[in-house]
Structure 1
């Protein structure tokens, strides 16, 4: 068993997430390159579309939000669906069989309401109705409700599901199972309305991978991007139980290492760590995969960073300033037309070199989001997820 330093772990993760400092690539960015990056980071959280576009764009030299959108809606190398923790993510179309196979094989999350609002038979009816309605269509929630009710019965449209001071139709309780199982995914927005469609329109011949093989592959991908890691950290990433995650780890060929004295695991044939120290200044958006997926938290969010950049111990609710692979502040952007006002709150004074690197990173944020940025160093007054 080998002992590796936090610096080695951070340098390895930065490189694998496409966040290491490097010169601009001579290769023009394209949809395939975008997909490669999203696959390597095991999906990009996409509840906030602009955050997902920035998260991906930061990892692809020369990319803009337009390229990320093209990869998603035109070239369809990306697909918008549910990923880790049941949250909306950008995933690669090529990885979709793995994701759906793995998520379906996991224990049903305790927060899922389908068992309380639908019988198993009703759930099967709803899933079949969704598959039929979306086979060749992109439908809003209201349109999909009409189609499901027509195929199942009025019970599916009863507004019984609590939702943000409103009630959703009963069938929506099966939506998580439908996306998890590859029955539906997001289609392009129609104005401000979300649409849904069939994943087979993104990946012809699509079928979920067999559960055990999919779980093993997903765990190996996770350890490649976020390892060394423990079963508890893998469980937290997926919103599963530690006991279940421990069983998954035991089924794999893993090697044990220690990170600053703490036991963790990597895939047995992936035990190399760089000798170079992590470097660079990055501005990561809300729910960036690096900030959410990496552990130990006390190393990634040291000292004051834990108090300032975590919300109740949860990562992702604040955009973070990353220096040498470690959280060193928070930031916020406010857009008005093409103007993007960026406020960065470092937790310690920046030297001349880091100040220049931060200015360059703000310019890069502006390029990705296709706006004109300005930088203010000062207090970020807004709260988490503002």
Structure 2
């Protein structure tokens, strides 16, 4: 009986550089190509979508990302894997919805309905009527902010006290809860920001319904796409990335026909057509943003980020900050200073060639950022220190 193939960490790093469009001569021509290469772009922090895409675009720029998000609508923002915001290719949205987002949305609806009932006595019937009124007002306006919709639908102006008696007690408008659930269910979508591209203020618009797909088939499809982009990966990696149960993850991997391979972390999986070694790519460096999909792509990270290097790059909740990469490894972190300039620190000695390549990436990033200011929503120890 033949031995199972073994993939070294070096071979995994080579695949990462090529497939995540990080090589100097292997970047994407369009934002849709980038989104497909990574399955989706993390979007909890609005700036991450732009920074992650532009790190992989041959001609980086805000306008290219906005074209896909707001003009051509070829990208869709969804609350999905791990109850996290992602921007995914529009044609992949039904798969993501059926495999993960649909269940997330159901939990969001149940949670918010219970919160509204407990905090203000708002019944499911009241919630349904308010939602329908908000959607009707949105259809009339075409696009609207939450405040504009509240002007049309007085019920949205109702307020509730969240976490009463706690140190973090707060008063919130019902509107944020109502619109959040409608967005999670894909009935409304976020439009262009009111301010610059880093702004959290935006308009809503109605969203067309997504095609309904069987959940098991959608899970298998998403698992195949993940393995094509992030493989080899363990079952534990995919379970963490999706938020699925262990049973569902195992079934999805089996449905892809994936081939088992030996990794330093244990058993990994590759698609059957993807078992040949990848040639060693040209040297490459990258500055990736906080919550970048590459950095957040696996649960087991030792093969691309040494534990000692990781410590100052993560916050206490497990969110990774801006990172500096060299040939498939995290070697440091970066930040934008108060004056707009960029600074970085290498946490391991990668040599003169690496430093020169990183300097080139700093210049590239500064070139398209221009006068824009970017502060991660989740701040990490090194990012805070470098930012000043």
TM-score > 0.5, shorter chain as reference:
yes
1:6 matches 2:4:
no
Alignment partner of 2:10: what SS?
A: helix
Work out which of the residue numbers 260, 266, 274 in structure 2 matches 1:262.
266
1:55 Cα deviation from its structure 2 partner? 0.9
Aligned equivalent of 2:203, options 195, 207, 229: 195
Q: Which residue of 1 aligns with 2:290?
A: 286
Aligned with residue 232 of structure 1, among 231, 236, 242: 236
The match for 2:147 among 142, 147, 154 is: 142
**Contact residue 162 and residue 171 of structure 2 kept, 8 A:** yes
With over 3 angstroms needed to count, the CA separation of the structure-2 counterparts of 1:155 and 1:369, relative to structure 1, is closer
Partner of 2:18: 15
Instruction: Name the TM-score, length of structure 2 as normaliser.
Output: 0.80
Cross-structure match for 1:376: none
> What displacement does 1:54 show?
1.6
TM-score in terms of structure 1 length: 0.80
Distance 1:258 1:47, change over 3 A: same
Secondary structure of 1:68 counterpart: helix
Q: Distance in 2 between matches of 1:66 and 1:301?
A: 32
Give, in whole Å, the separation in 1 of the partners of 2:286 and 2:182: 36
Tell me if structure 1 keeps the 8 A contact 2:150–2:156.
no
Which residues in structure 2 correspond to 1:208-357 (within 5 Å)? 208-212=211-215, 213-260=217-264, 262-276=266-280, 279-312=283-316, 314-316=318-320, 318-334=321-337, 336=339, 340-357=340-357
In 2, Cα distance between equivalents of 1:44 and 1:260: 27
Question: Partner of 2:94 in structure 1?
Answer: 97
Inter-partner Cα distance in structure 2 for 1:46 and 1:199: 18
The alignment partner of 1:270 has SS state of coil
1:57 counterpart = 2:62: no
Query: Which ranges in structure 2 are unaligned for 5 or more consecutive residues?
Result: 117-122, 374-380
Question: How far apart, CA to CA, are the structure 2 residues paired with 1:140 and 1:238?
Answer: 31
In the other structure, the counterpart of 1:114 is 112
Q: Distance in 1 between matches of 2:231 and 2:387?
A: 27
Per-residue deviation at 1:57?
A: 0.7
Q: Which residue of the partner structure matches residue 203 of structure 1?
A: none
The CA deviation string for residues 300-354 of structure 1, in whole angstroms up to 9 with x for no partner, is: 22141122223347242x1111111111111111264xxx311111012342222
Q: 2: distance between equivalents of 1:274 and 1:322?
A: 19
Aligned residue pairs total: 362
Q: CA 1:91–1:66 in structure 2 vs 1: closer, same or farther (change >3 Å)?
A: same
Distance 2:273 2:365 in 1: 36
5+ long unaligned stretches in structure 1: 201-205, 374-378
Q: Measure, in 1, the Cα distance between the counterparts of 2:202 and 2:169.
A: 19
The C-alpha deviation readout for 1:267-289, integer Å capped at 9, x for no partner, is 33333331416731111111110
Aligned partner of residue 56 in structure 1, secondary structure: helix
| Structure 2 residue matching 1:300: 3-state secondary structure | coil
Higher strand share: 1
